[in-house]
Amino acid sequence: MARSLFLKEEAKASTRTLAKTVGISEAVIFQRFGTKEDLFFAAIMPPEAQLESIVNLQRLAWSSTGDHRP
């Protein structure tokens, strides 16, 4: 839900709106994430497993073209 809100409203997204939408208090968000910035990065960054898959796919693409980047 946070990811969708940030993609739609960018950094202007309100933690109050997010909390209301998911049925929790805004305090719960800050207990879990500390800051709005921490919530933003957690919502926007793909999970580590997905990130590893993305990197591996890029490496495969590079190797298929003869590019041997690290």
Task: Tell me: pLDDT of 62 over 90.
Answer: no
Task: Tell me: pLDDT of 51 over 90.
Answer: no
Cα separation, 62 vs 21, in Å, equals 42
CA neighbor of 34 nearest in space, from 61, 59, 15, 58: 15
Task: Tell me: pLDDT of 28 over 90.
Answer: yes
pLDDT of residue 40: 92
Task: Tell me: pLDDT of 33 over 90.
Answer: yes
Cα separation, 42 vs 35, in Å, equals 11
Region label for 16, one of left (φ > 0), alpha (ψ between -120 and 50) or beta (otherwise): alpha
Report pTM: 0.62
